[in-house]
Structure 1
């Protein structure tokens, strides 16, 4: 796929995935545009709200407006310091997604990104293609245990990401998706990047492990146990599947 940069005005720039669009209409990044069209078909809360919008009868997009987290969010909700287009969060995320997809990783397809700049401050948005018939692994585990085979595949998906040198800033159980075919996807690559070295990979896995422990302590019906993470590590280390992993 080809990524095309468009300078719309002095203060607005877009990146467009030409596989999906020839140009990025500014309305595409406007929440009210979609609401007036009655095309908002769902939403997810986190930092702000992520909208699922019906772009066409068979195409659903995920529209995310970049917002800050933590204490600073109370003072500066959606403003970021501008140090060049290449360093803006949506441009980095979109190009990283493009690189990962080209390498065959199961990540969201980037559609378009927008940066709106005023002086040294910018605001930003990203549109990706919604993953069909998928739910996050956290939701899955509140309903039923995952099989050893699924945990093995989660480990393999993370290993493929790490083999490409991609550091995931927030690798937690909510950023791993599973579709109806039991295919594992990894999402939310804001502030993620490619890096060299090895030590950070174990820290990524530790972060995921802590998120599982946290959810088990918080949720009385969270179907996860230590043996599940061992199945994940089998997949990550690309060990042969055990008899239990194929059940």
Structure 2
């Protein structure tokens, strides 16, 4: 009996992962799974995670590996819906289908919520959902609260936001948020200009780090080698998006690095 109970607990942990306080788990008749913030459960259900997101949502100007969807919830807030997609080699092989358990949306929800609890600037996750097309495979969605007035760093360069707030102010805000993340022992597996959101707030410009899918936790401060690797990854993003160095010249990168080490 004990072995049966332990096996059941192991299966439960594999299926859900660590669910933060304040969230509830729901399973529908098809075996789809939803983790939703308790104070949002009246507004978010499985319909928000349909195979055709356009059935319930509109295209958002925010983008990651694909266009995000946005939906107006009953209480007036706007939620952003991100369908998980593979990058790199797996993009053309498995596309939107995953087989790693616990599901990646549930893991990202737990990581993001923990970072918010520690006081780091990131988005508020409303829910995460997975559907089961066949066997151990799943498709996943993450639903977050829209950060009103925010622009990703790359968009901010192009829209004129950086010119309005000042390049030095913007770079300092970004450097401070990344430094704070590294102090908490977090390695961001996909640090790039589109995963850094800038917003003008009452006390100045703030930077929010998002998309913690595949992030890694280290005990204590992130080792210097890993922190430098993270900055190098960000630097590659700069080179890829701005190869002509029109928005982010070398002098700006050096200034950013100096702000990072001073933070």
TM-score class normalised by the smaller sequence = 0.7 to 0.9
Instruction: Decide whether aligned partners of structure 1 residues 50 and 31 sit closer, same or farther in structure 2, where only a CA change above 3 A counts.
Output: farther
1:129 paired residue among 145, 149, 160:
145
**Quick one: distance in 1 between partners of 2:44 and 2:114?**
21
- Contact kept in structure 1, 2:54 and 2:69, CA below 8 Å: no
1:208 aligns with 2:234: yes
1:25 paired residue among 40, 45, 48:
45
Instruction: Decide whether aligned partners of structure 1 residues 235 and 3 sit closer, same or farther in structure 2, where only a CA change above 3 A counts.
Output: farther
Residue 41 of structure 1, CA deviation: 5.8
1:90 aligns with 2:105: yes
**Quick one: distance in 1 between partners of 2:186 and 2:137?**
27
Consecutive unaligned residues of structure 2, counting only runs of 5 or more, are 1-20
Q: Secondary structure at the match of 1:73?
A: helix
**Quick one: distance in 2 between partners of 1:41 and 1:47?**
14
RMSD value over aligned CA atoms? 2.4
The aligned counterpart of 1:104 is 119
**Quick one: distance in 2 between partners of 1:64 and 1:122?**
15
- Contact kept in structure 2, 1:52 and 1:60, CA below 8 Å: yes
Normalised to the residue count of structure 2, the TM-score between the two structures is 0.78
Q: Secondary structure at the match of 1:67?
A: coil
Consecutive unaligned residues of structure 1, counting only runs of 5 or more, are 240-247
**Quick one: distance in 1 between partners of 2:43 and 2:194?**
32
Normalised to the residue count of structure 1, the TM-score between the two structures is 0.83
Higher strand fraction (1 or 2)? 1
1:155 paired residue among 175, 187, 192:
175
The aligned counterpart of 1:3 is 23
- Contact kept in structure 1, 2:60 and 2:67, CA below 8 Å: no
